A and B are shown apart, each in its own frame.
Chain A
């Protein structure tokens, strides 16, 4: 594809015997809003980890903005921003300090950093709480801060791994408006995953559905609905991926939280 900003070729990731991502290839054009959908355990997060240099592929290549994610990691990292699926805040720092930290790491000039921090924290309604430690925040507040922080710098590619999970419709709306604006005004390519199909239907210009580590459908939301003969993207999704429930590894984070408390004491 010409104009491709993300090019994935024959990407595979194995963990022992388990193949999380199985020989997938796709590309994303510059300026696209690309929905990467799939049931739990389909390999979405593993793919994003490989796309963002956090994990090395077992085989296959990824080019981000023309740079190889294994051999040119620094160039790759300079080209994207990411909102992770799970928490990545420092909860011993305040909201403002988390923003500041991110801004410095991403070399956002001080004045711009200040201006955007205020703007974004107001969008996610955390401006009044900016000087509170993140550990005092509720889950939803942390999520909002996480998104605000991810939008602080304006990268060429923005990865959003289930960005709006657990947020109320108002906040979700505000955040998507900001992202769509970014896409329109600055041409930021957006690569996102979500379980909200109406959300994907509304914002995505291209959708790829993965299941069991394989790509099972690709196209615009309209094309997919047509292909599956479904009215909504949700129906199309269920038709394409089946009705079986998926297992996901249980998180051991809770036991760790307890360990940490004991250790700190």
Chain B
């Protein structure tokens, strides 16, 4: 049993033990599915877009993954404040494997959370081609890994939760809203397409939608490639910053 595995296991144990958090973090995706899915469904259909729920569901699944992933990464701030971080930082294990285990654990939690939202969406009438589920899971995992690593990178630079609202409003929310999760990127204002093309989540949402059988904007190959590149970059950045932490 290695250090990476035990770090991973710890994240999963913490997740499974806080039911309130698990259920709490399902609230937001549920509201989006209900309010947007059913609220805009009619207009979307009249505008010739087809069934909005089929379009929206992958976006909301990606949202659940994004939020859980960022939070998992940022949880390092709690570890720092409550002292546990020290225990891992002085261990005779490379900081890279500590960071990797933790990030994989956070990503697994985010993947689980995304899967739950996927199942809920099925109940609401989301009908993807189920043959593509493995590919969809792969995209979900890439999104999860990318944003847990990003959360870790951010958290390693912060001492307390004071800047948390900043991260929520100026990073997480824009990432979500400018990703094409709730509206199609095709045919929108040019500036918005440029913004989206710089947003890693846009490729995640697009790839996820495509693997569920929806229409792709960038093409699935591009999605996979860009997402993997971002993922590698943030893993590198996260572990570098993590290795520089001083207490």
Q: Which of A56, A78, A92, A101 contacts B18 (CB 8 A)?
A: A92
Q: Report B30 CB to chain A, min CB distance, Å.
A: 18
Scoring B residues 9 to 28 as 1 if CB is less than 8 Å from chain A, else 0, what string do you get?
01001100110110010000
Given A92-B18, A104-B3, do A77 and B161 touch, yes or no (CB 8 Å)?
A: no
In the bound complex, do residue B92 and residue A107 qualify as a contact, i.e. CB atoms below 8 Å apart?
Answer: yes
In the bound complex, do residue A264 and residue B18 qualify as a contact, i.e. CB atoms below 8 Å apart?
Answer: yes
**Which residues of chain B are within 8 angstroms of A259 by Cβ–Cβ distance?**
161
In the bound complex, do residue A86 and residue B83 qualify as a contact, i.e. CB atoms below 8 Å apart?
Answer: yes
Q: Which of B84, B161, B247 contacts A90 (CB 8 A)?
A: B84
Q: Which of B2, B87, B92, B164 contacts A88 (CB 8 A)?
A: B87
Q: Which of A55, A86, A105, A252 contacts B91 (CB 8 A)?
A: A105
B88 within 8 A of A: yes
Q: Report A11 CB to chain B, min CB distance, Å.
A: 15
Q: Which residue of A lies closest to B98 (CB)?
A: A105
Report the separation of the CA atoms of residues A93 and B160 in the bound assembly, to the nearest whole angstrom: 22
Q: Which residue of A lies closest to B164 (CB)?
A: A263
A52 within 8 A of B: yes
A245 within 8 A of B: no
Within 8 A of B (CB), among A26-85: 49, 52-56, 74, 77-78, 80, 82, 84
Q: Which residue of A lies closest to B17 (CB)?
A: A92
Q: Which of A49, A53, A86, A90 contacts B10 (CB 8 A)?
A: A90
The CB with the most chain B CB atoms within 10 A, among A55, A90, A264, is that of A90
In the bound complex, do residue A105 and residue B81 qualify as a contact, i.e. CB atoms below 8 Å apart?
Answer: no
Report the separation of the CA atoms of residues A55 and B88 in the bound assembly, to the nearest whole angstrom: 14
In the bound complex, do residue A93 and residue B10 qualify as a contact, i.e. CB atoms below 8 Å apart?
Answer: yes
**Which residues of chain B are within 8 angstroms of A74 by Cβ–Cβ distance?**
92, 94
Q: Which residue of A lies closest to B92 (CB)?
A: A78
Tell me what chain B mostly uses at the interface: helix, strand, loop, or mixed: helix
B86 within 8 A of A: yes
In the bound complex, do residue A89 and residue B84 qualify as a contact, i.e. CB atoms below 8 Å apart?
Answer: yes
On chain B, the number of residues with a Cβ less than 8 Å from chain A's Cβ atoms is 34
Q: Report B86 CB to chain A, min CB distance, Å.
A: 5
Report the separation of the CA atoms of residues A133 and B93 in the bound assembly, to the nearest whole angstrom: 25
A256 within 8 A of B: yes
A265 within 8 A of B: yes
B90 within 8 A of A: yes
In the bound complex, do residue B20 and residue A264 qualify as a contact, i.e. CB atoms below 8 Å apart?
Answer: yes
**Which residues of chain A are within 8 angstroms of B85 by Cβ–Cβ distance?**
88
B47 within 8 A of A: no
In the bound complex, do residue A260 and residue B78 qualify as a contact, i.e. CB atoms below 8 Å apart?
Answer: yes
In the bound complex, do residue A97 and residue B246 qualify as a contact, i.e. CB atoms below 8 Å apart?
Answer: no
Q: Which residue of B lies closest to A259 (CB)?
A: B161
In the bound complex, do residue A105 and residue B88 qualify as a contact, i.e. CB atoms below 8 Å apart?
Answer: yes
Report the separation of the CA atoms of residues A82 and B160 in the bound assembly, to the nearest whole angstrom: 24
Within 8 A of A (CB), among B63-89: 78-79, 81-89
Q: Which residues of B contact A (CB under 8 A)?
A: 1-3, 5-6, 10, 13-14, 17-18, 20-21, 24, 78-79, 81-94, 160-161, 164, 246-247
Q: Which residues of A contact B (CB under 8 A)?
A: 49, 52-56, 74, 77-78, 80, 82, 84, 86-93, 97, 100-102, 104-107, 110, 133, 252-253, 256, 259-260, 263-265
